[in-house]
A = this chain, B = another copy of it.
Amino acid sequence: MSLKALALNGTLKASNFAEESSTGKLMELIAEEFQKYGVETETIRLADHDIKPGVTSDEGRGDAWPNIRKKILESDILLVGTPIWLGQPGSVCKRALERMDAFLEETDEQGRMVSYGKVASVAVVGNEDGAHHVSAEVFQALNDVGFTIPANAVAYWVGEAMGSTNFIDLKKTPEAVQAMISTLARNTAHLAKLLKQRQYPSQEG
């Protein structure tokens, strides 16, 4: 069975501003690992798109969200990546999560949110500290709007307290990070396959 993953890169910077992104680097490593399990990944760098603030699925003229939302709905897996700022998820990632609030009222004919059956995992990168909390926020937000979270669904890297090294400048991916990436990809793909074959039951009655 082949699977599609959509990777939303929440780096604060558009591509024309800073071509490389530590968050993007970690997400690439995950996308490569996904291939081992038949998962093809498309990546969207959110800061390249004009996603309007709001909690509906279409905030009108010039809103880039409807197209991104369409890609989410066509995917089996959603990988949300974000840098850490002040120990918290970045505002670009937050905006995308916020737009998925609309899923709460978007259900199929059996009462299931449009996100049901999709599996989500998380990539987090920072100079230092904050990855667990970021994953907590993203897990909860995505679970509220209908995504399923596989075992060990986060891969992250942060440096020592008050550090300033960027993940992208590491000479080599640390073994612990590589292990998290392998685990994330393996478990995410496994669960996505199970749910693609056996969607959640009708939520009616």
Flag if A88 contacts B203 (CB, 8 Å): no
Is A40 in contact with chain B by the CB < 8 A criterion? no
| Contact flags A29-59 to B (C-beta < 8 A → 1, else 0) | 0000000000000000001000001110000
Interface residue count on the A side (C-beta < 8 Å): 71
17 contacts between A and B (CB under 8 A): A53-B91, A86-B97, A86-B98, A86-B145, A87-B131, A88-B94, A130-B133, A131-B161, A136-B137, A143-B149, A148-B148, A148-B191, A156-B161, A157-B161, A162-B176, A162-B180, A186-B200
Give chain A's interface residues, CB within 8 Å of chain B.
Answer: 12-13, 47, 53-55, 85-92, 94-95, 97-98, 101, 113, 115-117, 128-133, 135-137, 139-141, 143-154, 156-163, 174, 176-177, 180, 182-183, 186-187, 190-191, 194-195, 198, 200-201, 203
| Chain A residues touching B, majority SS | mixed
Complex interface: chain B residues within 8 A of A150 (CB): 148, 200
Bound CA–CA A183/B141 (angstroms): 17
Contact of A198 among B131, B152, B194, B203 (CB under 8 A): B194
- Please, which residues of chain B bring their CB within 8 A of the CB of A87? 131-133, 135-136, 140-141, 144
Asked whether B160 lies within 8 Å of A152 as measured between CB atoms, the reply is: no
B12, A55: Cβ atoms closer than 8 Å: yes
Nearest CB of B to A124, in Å: 9
Q: Are A55 and B148 in contact (CB under 8 A)?
A: no
Q: How far is the CB of A199 from chain B (nearest CB, A)?
A: 9
Taking the nearest CB of chain B, how far is it from the CB of A75, in angstroms?
A: 15
Contact yes or no, B137 A88, CB < 8 A: yes
Distance from A188 Cβ to chain B, minimum over Cβ atoms (Å):
10
B contact residues around A182 at 8 Å (CB): 203
Q: Are A158 and B129 in contact (CB under 8 A)?
A: yes
